[in-house]
Structure 1
Amino acid sequence: MTEIGQTLKEAREQKGLTLDDLQQTTKIQKRYLIAIESENFDALPGNFYVRAFISQYAKAVGLNDAELLAQLDEETNIQIENPVEKEATTRTEAMRMEQAEKNDFLNKLINYLPTIIIVVVVVAILGTIYIVSFGNHSKNAASDSSSQTVSVSSESEKKTSSSQKASSKKASSAKESSKKASSKASKQKIESVSSDGSTFTYNVTNAPSTNELQLTVDGSAAWSAVSANGSQVWQGTLNSGENHTVSLPSGTTTITINLGNSNSTSLKLNGKTFNYKNENSTLTVRTITLNLEQ
């Protein structure tokens, strides 16, 4: 029996996190978190998930996941299928099947080649006849259409001029809208409304109609998730030096940000730094809610 489960549990308790907090942060079901802490790995969906869940749990509570996984390999018989070898085998089989299909297609093409040649010759003859006939018809119609050319050209020029004016107005309107959105984003103001444990709420005034949230990690790896109006739009783990920009859907009124390692994560909303760490700078895991007011 390993001590991995006990190590994770003690780290969680030291950070003052409940299993419900950890479930919300990692998105791992609570029953799997309980199984990990009691080292009942058979209750997890498979060996791959044993390693993945332990790694994600460790990062959320600030432990070195690589050391725990190494300990797991040494003290248990859990064997994870090598995804690289599996992928290589799958690709080889796919290449064999593709080559077999190509060979079968070439054999069929050779069998039908005489028929294809005959069809091509017939189509070429019919095409020549059509081109000759069309050329004679065009010569007869040319004299009738010449008198209409001047009036048609004049009407075409008028339509082109009108179209250019309309395009110019649209471009000008689009530039004006872009300037207004940029000006509004520069005036946005973020104010703290309330805090409860690891949950914080802010109001964002003068927010534009479309918003961008940039997450940057400097330090140990950090898992984060972003939701718009209650629907998750992005989640992932960023390593030190990495950043990711989330474009929120138009009409978003509430942004929810779950941070697994806030000590290493910096936020920018519409290009402006959001100093959320002013609220309890020692907290590692936190949930931030931004209420947008245009």
Structure 2
Amino acid sequence: MQEIGEILKAKREEKGLSLADIEQATKIRTRYLEAIEEGDLSAIPGMVYARGFIKSYAEFLGLDGQALLEQYRTDSHEEVSREKQEIEPAKTVTNTPPGLKKSNLWTQLAMGIGVVGIMMIVYMAVVHHSSAKPSPSQPQEATTQQKEEKGESASPSESAPKTDAEKTKTEEKQTPLEPVSKSSGNSFYKVKGENITVQVTAPRGANWMQVVADGKIIASETLQKGDSRTYSAGSQLDLITGNSPAIDVTVNGQPVALEQVLGRYEFHFRAE
């Protein structure tokens, strides 16, 4: 990892850029950039973000970010293999005194008897509860007949089936919104309506993201697991994520089919 950091630092200095310049362009904090260049990723919250930062940093400098990530994976695998070969845990053998073995045997036997006794008590309680249940109420037909005799009738709103328009609207909400086109690292969606409202939740883990509404950055933050955010725009909204498998997205109340990517990916929504 230190070799990759040296490559990035050398390329940055070759271009005459400071860490502040890199932070402004990529939105990656300076302390994370320093950690990458020094080869110490302990300051970065999670390997998903570390890989995403390395790739974004490298591509901004004009390097092949994917190739550097592959090199990082190879170096990490070799280092872990060496550590496993060098460190072998010593096997210890504990001799248990004969008296202690007998004590453990009696303890286990007593616990087993206790468990069986508890199971018998629970079983008897269940049987008693089942036998004490009251008889079922009269059939529903009798209740219906009584209502008819009293002149009661079901209201039309309760018995009327859903119209075709209501069914279509329900199906649209349940059907995920699919992209109309895709390109490298991008998915494009058409949204029905004059405005766009996007809700992002993170039920499966943390996710860094940036939100651009009508050409203006309105958010750049990290959602922790369980967080939820809502953003609105007029005619276009762009959502840039760092860990799309961790999030769920809805647009105008309709779930969105997301490309599952560990790393930077952009989702573009346009109102029709």
Question: Is the structural similarity TM-score above 0.5?
Answer: no
TM-score of the pair, normalised by structure 2? 0.39
Q: State the structure with more CA Rg.
A: 1
TM-score of the pair, normalised by structure 1? 0.37
Higher helix share: 1
